Amino acid sequence: MTGYVAASVFCAVIAWWWGMPLGERAIAIIGPPAAFVVVVTIATAIKGREWIVFYHALFAGAAVTAALGLVTGSPHMGRLLDVAVLGIGVFLVFGRIGCFHVACCHGRPTRKHGVVYDARHVAVGLWPAYAHRPLFPIQLVESAIALGLVVAGVLAAEDVPGRGALVFAEGYAIARFTLELLRGDPVRPHALGLSEAQWSSLVDPAVCAAVWPSPATFAILGGVVVAAGVLVARRRSRALLLAPHLEELDKLCAAIAREPAGARRDSSAGVGVSCHQLPDGRRDWVLSCSHAAAARAIAATLWPAGEVIEGRTPGIVHVVI
């Protein structure tokens, strides 16, 4: 709600500053929040739980604003999109602070410094394996980037209507594609090694290049496409350390702990897990993986306090708890 109020005030002030008629101000201020409510309601109904995705709000808000501008015959489509998109950016600044407080959209574990969440956050959805561990505060980083893009967008739009929306959309696509590599929450869908947000970060510059064709927009699109191609090519090794696979392994370990000694389970990515009780009461978790480095990284994520011992066979790692 703080983000909504701040974004509404921002939109009202910037629209007045740019001398937009009252009707166009109403479109830019009312259209995106209404679209946000609709897409969140639909996504929540499909998922069966609250599901808020920023790109859904950005795409829907910009589309509704453009559609209303066309229906009303607005001669200031660039200004409409500037106000709507930059207003959505202001909302994101506060939205990510909200994410930070409730531990959603969090980052990967760090060795020393980071934000530490506890049982209260587990109760509202945090993966228990990440409780009481420092996590990279990626939500605050994205909030700061969004603020910088809004400021840059306002400055860019002063002389050229539409350029503010373009600057924010292009800048956010680059930033979000990169930040996804540091995200650690396991609930986001992935396909071909790319998260939903990374696929959206391909659509974003593609739309910008189609609407505002220029060497700069085509260069940005090309850069993101090349980066996506590299990640897709490396998807098999990267899949081992993606948050959804790590959560899958964690659930397999919980199931193995309830089964007879020596039971083994294999993950969808081909990582084998088994557990053996040692004479001194400790447990020996055995990870079998074709990538030895990935096996060590998985062990460090699932059992940060465990003693990692290399097996005699490459790709076998013992974690003694």
Q: Mean pLDDT, consecutive 10-residue segments, the chain of 321 residues?
A: 94 93 91 93 89 92 93 90 96 96 91 90 89 94 97 93 95 96 88 93 95 94 96 88 88 84 83 87 85 80 84 82 85
Q: Which residues pair with 183 in a beta bridge?
A: 107
- Note whether 164 and 153 are within 8 A (CB): yes
| DSSP secondary structure string for all residues of 94-160 | HHHHHHHHHT-S-B-B-SS-SEE--HHHHHTT--GGGTTSEE--HHHHHHHHHHHHHHHHHHHHTTS
3-state secondary structure of 260: coil
pLDDT (0 to 100) of residue 213: 94
pLDDT in tens, 70-91: 998 888 899 999 999 999 999 9
Q: C-alpha distances in angstroms, 183 versus 18, 142, 176, 178?
A: 38, 11, 10, 10
pLDDT (0 to 100) of residue 308: 85
pLDDT in tens, 266-286: 888 888 888 888 888 888 888
pTM summary value: 0.90
**Strand pairing of 190-191 and 307-310?**
unpaired
